[in-house]
Amino acid sequence: MIVDGKIVEKYDTQNIKETFKKREFVLEYAENPQYPEFIKFELIQSNCDQLDSLNVGDEVSVNFNLKGRKWTDPKGEVKYFNSLQAWRVDRKTAGASDSPPPPTEEWSKEDFSKDDDLPF
């Protein structure tokens, strides 16, 4: 899954165990700018470093997986937890769009004279 938005919070990396670390951040997702959503994501292990080069206020594109876990507490009650686990966070560049880059002038140097298999 992919979502675009603006980083509004960025937290320090937490060492949960000696072999496990995570880092959280909050994205302002404004599909409807009148009612923006604030979505908390987590990065784990080596992915935590991706936030080092990003700042609060940066527009980003976040690739993530939706994770869900079932846990039974000591009283025997079953509980469910969800998390949004980001695995790639890219800064969006100003003026970027989903369209391909404009063609260069290199095409004008190509010899199309032998393309005589056209149907017209």
> CATH topology for 2-93?
OB fold (Dihydrolipoamide Acetyltransferase, E2P) (2.40.50)
Query: In this structure, are residues 32 and 14 in contact, taking their beta carbons and an 8 Å threshold?
Result: no
Which residues have CB under 8 Å from 80's CB, separation 6+? 68, 69, 70, 71
Q: Report the predicted TM-score, pTM, of the whole model to 2 decimal places.
A: 0.71
Task: Indicate the helix (H) or strand (E) that contains 20.
Answer: strand 20-29
Domains of the chain by residue range: 2-93
pLDDT mean by block of 10 residues, the chain; 120 residues: 97 94 96 94 96 96 96 96 96 64 48 51
Place of tokens 């979505």: 39
